[in-house]
């Protein structure tokens, strides 16, 4: 979910594992040459989701990387299948209060540019939590752990995780 720590914990995890880190939002921005928020403005959410699926298809085939997806990548069943079949999927759990605290000051999240962003976070989390749980091989509660500590705990958790083939 937005603010769960995919970019920050993901980058730290990749460093600990000695793997390349790719952030899918940043890869989309690099490919399109404009910010995600601009794609939402010009093409709407639908246009962004099409680009996201194409890029997810490309990057989820790349072996040995740590890939941070966007928070809404789980919405399409096609994306969930790619994730679950091609990788080890981690769901970073956090409460709506915590998520909102982390993203409140950031204007770069187009879905939160509404009159009541706090309520929107609750609504999006309620809608998506079952999808995150469904697609994940590992669910990890970041709580109030600092980034590096969360990444370290995740390394240990991944060591003891077996992924069904």
Ligand X SMILES: O=C(O)C1=C[C@@H](O)[C@@H](O)[C@H](O)C1
93 beta partners: 141
Residue 72 interaction partner, one of Mg ion, ligand X, ligand ATP, none, beta carbon < 5-8 Å per kind: ligand X
Q: Does 120 bind ligand ATP (CB under 6 A)?
A: no
Tokens 């952030």 -> residue: 23
The secondary structure of 50-104 as a DSSP string is HHHHHHHHHHTTSTTEEEEPPTTGGGSHHHHHHHHHHS--EEEE--HHHHHHHHT
Q: Does 122 bind Mg ion (CB under 5 A)?
A: no
Shortest CA distance to 97 belongs to which of 153, 132, 144, 150? 144
Q: What minimum distance in Å lies between the beta carbon of 162 and ligand ATP?
A: 25
Nearer residue to ligand ATP within complex by CB, 139 or 164? 139
Q: What minimum distance in Å lies between the beta carbon of 127 and ligand ATP?
A: 15
Q: Which residue is nearest to Mg ion (CB)?
A: 7
Q: What minimum distance in Å lies between the beta carbon of 135 and ligand X?
A: 14
* Torsion 52-56-57-59 (CA) sign: positive
Residue 36 interaction partner, one of ligand ATP, ligand X, Mg ion, none, beta carbon < 5-8 Å per kind: ligand X
Per the structure block, which two tokens stand in for 18? Answer: 């000695």
Annotated binding site: 3-8, 25, 49, 71, 109, 128
Annotated binding site for Mg(2+): 7
């Amino acid at each position: 979910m937005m603010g769960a720590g995919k970019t920050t914990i993901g980058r730290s995890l990749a460093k600990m594992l000695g793997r390349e880190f790719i952030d899918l939002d940043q890869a989309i921005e690099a490919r399109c040459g404009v910010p995600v928020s601009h794609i939402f403005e010009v093409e709407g959410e639908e246009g962004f989701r099409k680009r996201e699926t194409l890029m997810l298809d490309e990057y989820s085939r790349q072996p040995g990387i740590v890939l941070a997806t966007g928070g809404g990548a789980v919405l399409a069943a096609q994306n969930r299948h790619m994730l679950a079949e091609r990788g080890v999927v981690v769901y970073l759990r956090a409460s709506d209060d915590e998520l909102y605290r982390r993203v409140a000051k950031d204007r770069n999240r187009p879905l939160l540019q509404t009159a009541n962003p706090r309520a929107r976070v609750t609504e999006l989390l309620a809608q998506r939590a079952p999808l995150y749980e469904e697609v994940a091989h590992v669910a990890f509660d970041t709580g109030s752990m600092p980034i590096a500590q969360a990444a370290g705990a995740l390394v240990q958790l991944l060591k003891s995780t077996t992924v069904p083939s």
